[in-house]
Amino acid sequence: MNTSKAKYINVNGRLMDLSKPRVMGILNVTPDSFYAESRMQGEEQIACRVRQILNEGADLIDIGAYSSRPGAADVSPHEEMERLRIGLKILFREAPEAIVSVDTFRADVAKMCVEEFGVALVNDISAGQMDANMFATVTRLGVPYIMMHMQGTPQNMQKQPHYDDLLKEVFFYFSQRIACLRDLGAKDIILDPGFGFGKTLEHNYELMAHLEEFALFDLPLLVGISRKSMIYRLLGTTPQEALNGTTVLNTVSLLRGANILRVHDVRQAVEAVRMVEQLKKCD
């Protein structure tokens, strides 16, 4: 069982201890996210979702305005910014003290969210690969940065993904990207293995089976498997029926070292954290 040592990140000038796993609730201000129930566009929908995320016990809110589902349509930087401005105004009106991350691969979008709204973290599915300015921007902004592994782009990542050695290639990818960020002076880096991004079902379970090995980086680990195809395709169901499978894999992730769970269903993830933490006390 995982007995992770304390890992801290600086969020808005305060240290957040990630040795106790945290739950990040997903707020999608998009019309086309893969899980239909997560799509929030109207003002009251967004406000209600913010209240739900926090009332169910989330520590962070991850807001995104660009769907990264396989084959998703491209969205212009202007449209992404406008969606986020609307969403963030409502979010901070409802919860002024919320700790918010922005899910974007664009440096200018990240900069706007941090400087105009005080967003505390940047969550980048491309680890700086889709915008050459991202690393310099997040380093200058001084916010924690979540870098995810993805093979390809959201438009082509699931067209026959291939690895000669999955773990070796993912680890090498992170080693290179971390070194680039460190050279620029970045401090708080969080890793996301990228379940479902340029990976087959078998690749996803291989990553999950070896999740503990990410400890070699000595960095916080975020896991986002909420209602993804690795669950519902294996079980022959749908995203709407994937809550039980999500909870199972969230629990496995916690036992194997996850520090942050990025989820649609906050209450169930918070309960999983509480039970796993209780188990750890018995070690």
Q: What is the pLDDT of residues 229-261, one digit of tens each?
A: 999 999 999 999 999 999 999 999 999 999 999
Q: Would the pLDDT of 141 be above 70?
A: yes
7 is a domain residue: no
Q: What integer pLDDT is reported at residue 99 of this predicted model?
A: 98
CB 269 within 8 A of CB 23: yes
131 vs 108: CA distance, rounded Å:
9
182 vs 185: CA distance, rounded Å:
5
Q: What integer pLDDT is reported at residue 42 of this predicted model?
A: 81
* Catalytic annotation present for 199: no
Q: What integer pLDDT is reported at residue 145 of this predicted model?
A: 98
Q: What integer pLDDT is reported at residue 161 of this predicted model?
A: 79
Q: What integer pLDDT is reported at residue 2 of this predicted model?
A: 44
Q: What integer pLDDT is reported at residue 162 of this predicted model?
A: 85
Q: Which residues pair with 102 in a beta bridge?
A: 63, 122
Q: pLDDT tens digits, residue range 170-211? A: 999 999 999 999 999 999 999 999 999 999 999 999 999 999
Task: Write down the catalytic residue from 69, 83, 228, 256.
Answer: 228
User: How many domains in the chain?
Assistant: 1
CB 91 within 8 A of CB 121: no
10 is a domain residue: no
Place of tokens 């998009």: 30
Q: What integer pLDDT is reported at residue 41 of this predicted model?
A: 64
| Distance from the Cα of residue 265 to its chain's centroid | 14
200 is a domain residue: yes
Say which CATH number the domain at 214 has.
3.20.20.20
Can you give the residue range of the structural domain that contains 241? 19-280
Q: What is the 3-state secondary structure (H, E, C) of 235-261?
A: HCCCHHHCHHHHHHHHHHHHHCCCCEE
67 φ, ψ (degrees, to nearest 5): -65, 130
Q: What integer pLDDT is reported at residue 38 of this predicted model?
A: 46
Query: What is the residue-wise DSSP string for 31-53?
Result: S--SSGGGB--SHHHHHHHHHHH
* Catalytic annotation present for 228: yes
Task: Write down the catalytic residue from 262, 267, 274, 280.
Answer: 262
1 is a domain residue: no
220 is a domain residue: yes
252 vs 271: CA distance, rounded Å:
13
Return the axis-axis angle of helices 107-117 and 77-94, rounded to nearest 10°.
30
For residue 74, give the DSSP letter: P
Place of tokens 């105004």: 89
Q: What six digits make up the tokens of 68?
A: 């990264």
- Going by C-alpha positions, the residue among 147, 146, 148, 79 that lies closest to residue 119 is 146
Q: What integer pLDDT is reported at residue 3 of this predicted model?
A: 44
190 is a domain residue: yes
Q: Would the pLDDT of 1 be above 60?
A: no
8 is a domain residue: no
Q: pLDDT tens digits, residue range 26-49? A: 999 987 554 445 455 688 889 999
Half-sphere exposure of 258 toward its Cβ, with a 13 Å CA cutoff?
Answer: 29
Note if the pTM is more than 0.85.
yes
Q: pLDDT tens digits, residue range 70-90? A: 666 778 999 999 999 999 999
48 is a domain residue: yes
243 φ, ψ (degrees, to nearest 5): -70, -45
